[in-house]
Structure formats: structure tokens, C-alpha cells
Amino acid sequence: MADSTDKPRASFTLDSTLDSVNKIEQTAEQYAQRAGFDEDTIPHIAMAVREAAVNAVLHGNAYDVNKHITASFETTPADLVIRIADQGPGLDPSSLPDPLAPENILRGSGRGIFLIRAFMDEVNFRQLHPGTELTLIKHRTPAQSGT
């Protein structure tokens, strides 16, 4: 996967494993670097993408060896766009509890989507029947896009 980051667009289908999560995270970091994001923003993008991949593998596909996740990376003049999709039962983002609410602050889980939203400029959910696709978008500045 690492060799493909010299292309403006790439897509991968991967097993539902933590190894896939690590590969997707590394690829996101490489795309973010090539898109010109600064050293503070690159780890945030990589973490957001990692969280999306973890959700797909863990909560979406539940490590099912018969289900796969897809990850696509696209650099446009305006944005870095990353899509992560699973084949799970679907995710309703409105059903997720607010991890900052006092009654949830000491919960041991439930912060993944929150961190994705914190670190990306746009996060969109699409139901695939079956599965969920998350689209993560980070806007590039004119200097980053070379325009």
C-alpha cells in the first residue's frame, strides 16, 4: 500500500484485522504528508482515519474473516478525502452517546467518532446495506494544493 501514495487516488480492499487498521493509518499519514499538511495536522488525520478503520473492523465487521473493509484515498486541489467502508450491520451516528456528557465522561469506550469529528473538517456517514461508509475530509490551504 505504501507505494501507491504517489498517486492522487488509490483504493484497497482489506481483511478485517488490526493489521489492516495499521496499514490504513500508515497510508493516511503518507497521503497527508504528500498533501502538504503540517506536522501537527498529519498525526490528527492519521488518528482520525485509524479510528474510522478500527470502527469498521471492530464494530462494523466484528473481525469477521468473511467480511472486508475498503479504504480509498484521494487528494484533490481542495481536499484530502478518505473513505472507509465496512460490511457490518450499519451505524446510526445519531444514536451515539455524547462522550463529553457528565454521565459518559468515565466510560471506557465511545470516543472514536468524537475524535474523528474533532480532527477532520467534514465527516459524512452513508449506509450501504449492508455496511457503513465514512467519508473523512480535510481541507487543504491554497499553499498546500499549490494553487
Q: How far is the CB of 145 from other proteins (least distance, A)?
A: 26
Three cell numbers written together for 75 = 487528494
Cis preceding-peptide flag for 130 (omega within 30 of 0):
yes
The reply on whether position 62 binds other proteins by CB under 8 A is no
Burial of 115 by CB count in 10 Å (0-12 exposed, 13-18 middle, 19+ buried)? middle
Which residue is listed with cell 455524547? 98
Q: Nearer Cβ to other proteins, position 108 or 142?
A: 108
Beta strands per DSSP E along 45-121: 68-75, 79-85
Q: How far is the CB of 67 from other proteins (least distance, A)?
A: 18
The reply on whether position 138 binds other proteins by CB under 8 A is no
The reply on whether position 114 binds other proteins by CB under 8 A is yes
Q: How many residues bind other proteins (CB under 8 A)?
A: 21
Residues 25-54 that bind other proteins (CB under 8 A): 43, 47, 50-51, 54
Contact call for residues 138 and 73 (beta carbons, < 8 A): no
Return residues touching other proteins (CB under 8 A): 18, 21, 43, 47, 50-51, 54, 58, 99-100, 105-112, 114-115, 118
